[in-house]
Structure 1
Amino acid sequence: MAKFTFNMPDVGEGVAEAEIVDWHVKVGDTVSEDQHLVDVMTDKATIDIESPVDGKVLEVAGEVGDTIAVGSMLLVIETQGDVEVEEDSPAETTPAPAPKDEDVVERIEVETSDASDADDAIAADPDPQPLPEPTPAPAPQSHAKVLASPAVRARAKDLGVDLSQVKPAGDGRVRHADLDSFLSYNGGFSAGGATRSDEEIKVIGLRKRIAQNMAASKRSIPHFSYVEEVDVTELERLRAQLNSAKGDRLKLTMLPLLITAICKLVPEFPMINARYDDEANVVTRHGSVHLGMATQTDGGLMVPVIRDAQAKNLWQLAREITRLAEAARDGSAKSEELSGSTLTITSLGPLGGVATTPVINRPEVAIIGPNRIIERPMFVSDGNGGERIEKRKLMNISISCDHRVVDGWDAASFIQEMKKLIEAPARLLAD
Structure 2
Amino acid sequence: MPVSVTMPRLGESVTEGTVTRWLKQEGERVEADEPLLEVSTDKVDTEIPSPAAGVLTRIVVGEDETAEVGSELAVIAGEGEDAGSAAPAPAQQQAAEPEPEPEPAALTTPSTEKPVEEETPAPQTASAGSSEGTEVKLPALGESVTEGTVTRWLKQVGETVEADEPLLEVSTDKVDTEIPSPVAGTVLEIKVGEDETAEVGAVLAVIGSADAAPAKQETPPPAPKQEAPKQEAPKQESAPAPQPRIESAPAPQIGESYATPSPAAETKQPAAPAQPAAPSQPAAPAAETVKSNGAGDAGYVTPLVRKLAAEKGVDLSTLSGTGVGGRIRKQDVLDAAEKARSAAPTAQPTASAPVETTEQRKAPAKAEPSPLRGRTEKLTRIRATIARRMVESLQISAQLTTVVEVDVTKIANLRNKAKADFQAKHGVKLTFLPFFALATVEALQQHPVVNSSIDVEAGTVTYHGAEHLGIAVDAPKGLVVPVIKDAGDLNLAGLSKRIADLADRTRNNKIGPDEIGGGTFTLTNTGSRGALFDTPIINQPQVGILGLGAVVKRPVIVNDPELGEIIAPRSMVYLALSYDHRIVDGADAARFLGTLKERLEAGHFEADLGL
TM-score (norm. length: structure 1): 0.68
1:22-421 correspondence to structure 2 within 5 Å = 22-27=21-26, 29-41=28-40, 48-82=47-81, 96-97=173-174, 198-246=374-422, 247-249=424-426, 250-384=428-562, 386-421=564-599
Q: Secondary structure at the match of 1:49?
A: strand
- CA distance in 2 between partners of 1:275 and 1:45 (Å): 28
1:16-61 deviations in whole A, cap 9, x for unaligned?
5333345444445532111222343556765642211123334433
Does the CA contact (< 8 Å) of 2:449 and 2:583 recur in 1? Answer: yes
- CA distance in 2 between partners of 1:359 and 1:36 (Å): 39
- CA distance in 2 between partners of 1:10 and 1:379 (Å): 59
C-alpha displacement of 1:429: 4.8
Q: Secondary structure at the match of 1:226?
A: strand
Q: Could you say which residue in structure 2 is the equivalent of 1:118?
A: none
TM-score (norm. length: structure 2): 0.49
Q: Could you say which residue in structure 2 is the equivalent of 1:174?
A: none
Q: Classify 1:394/1:299 alpha carbon distance in 2 versus 1 (closer, same or farther; 3 Å).
A: same
| Paired AA for residue 561 in structure 2 | G
Q: Secondary structure at the match of 2:549?
A: strand
1:212-255 deviations in whole A, cap 9, x for unaligned?
21121121111110111111111111222222432422221111
Q: Secondary structure at the match of 2:488?
A: helix
Does the CA contact (< 8 Å) of 2:12 and 2:513 recur in 1? Answer: no
340-349 vs 33-42, which deviates more? 33-42
| Paired AA for residue 409 in structure 1 | A
Does the CA contact (< 8 Å) of 1:292 and 1:341 recur in 2? Answer: yes
Number of corresponding residues: 328
Q: Classify 1:70/1:353 alpha carbon distance in 2 versus 1 (closer, same or farther; 3 Å).
A: closer
Does the CA contact (< 8 Å) of 2:468 and 2:485 recur in 1? Answer: yes
Does the CA contact (< 8 Å) of 2:60 and 2:72 recur in 1? Answer: yes
Q: Secondary structure at the match of 1:316?
A: helix
| Paired AA for residue 329 in structure 1 | R
1:246-276 deviations in whole A, cap 9, x for unaligned?
2422221111100110111112210111223
Q: Secondary structure at the match of 1:245?
A: helix
C-alpha displacement of 1:295: 0.6
C-alpha displacement of 1:419: 1.0
- CA distance in 2 between partners of 1:238 and 1:12 (Å): 42
Does the CA contact (< 8 Å) of 2:12 and 2:514 recur in 1? Answer: no
29-38 vs 8-17, which deviates more? 8-17
- CA distance in 1 between partners of 2:7 and 2:14 (Å): 11
Q: Classify 1:409/1:322 alpha carbon distance in 2 versus 1 (closer, same or farther; 3 Å).
A: same
- CA distance in 2 between partners of 1:383 and 1:67 (Å): 68
- CA distance in 2 between partners of 1:415 and 1:22 (Å): 49
Aligned-pair Cα RMSD in Å: 3.1
Does the CA contact (< 8 Å) of 2:526 and 2:533 recur in 1? Answer: no
Q: Could you say which residue in structure 2 is the equivalent of 1:176?
A: none
- CA distance in 1 between partners of 2:475 and 2:590 (Å): 32
Q: Secondary structure at the match of 2:48?
A: strand
Does the CA contact (< 8 Å) of 2:43 and 2:382 recur in 1? Answer: no
Q: Classify 1:288/1:97 alpha carbon distance in 2 versus 1 (closer, same or farther; 3 Å).
A: same
Instruction: List runs of 5+ in structure 2 lacking aligned partners.
Output: 83-145, 149-171, 176-368
Does the CA contact (< 8 Å) of 2:36 and 2:47 recur in 1? Answer: yes
Q: Secondary structure at the match of 2:525?
A: coil
C-alpha displacement of 1:382: 2.6
Does the CA contact (< 8 Å) of 1:65 and 1:203 recur in 2? Answer: no
- CA distance in 2 between partners of 1:350 and 1:9 (Å): 38
- CA distance in 2 between partners of 1:276 and 1:45 (Å): 30
Q: Classify 1:24/1:213 alpha carbon distance in 2 versus 1 (closer, same or farther; 3 Å).
A: farther
Instruction: List runs of 5+ in structure 1 lacking aligned partners.
Output: 84-91, 99-192
234-243 vs 54-63, which deviates more? 54-63
Does the CA contact (< 8 Å) of 1:21 and 1:204 recur in 2? Answer: no
- CA distance in 2 between partners of 1:314 and 1:36 (Å): 45
| Paired AA for residue 258 in structure 1 | F
Structure with larger Rg: 2
Q: Could you say which residue in structure 1 is the equivalent of 2:364?
A: none
C-alpha displacement of 1:417: 1.6
C-alpha displacement of 1:328: 1.1
1:368-427 deviations in whole A, cap 9, x for unaligned?
011112211112223215222211111100110011111111112111221111111116
| Percent identity (aligned) | 34
| Paired AA for residue 245 in structure 1 | D
Q: Secondary structure at the match of 2:461?
A: strand
Does the CA contact (< 8 Å) of 1:261 and 1:428 recur in 2? Answer: no
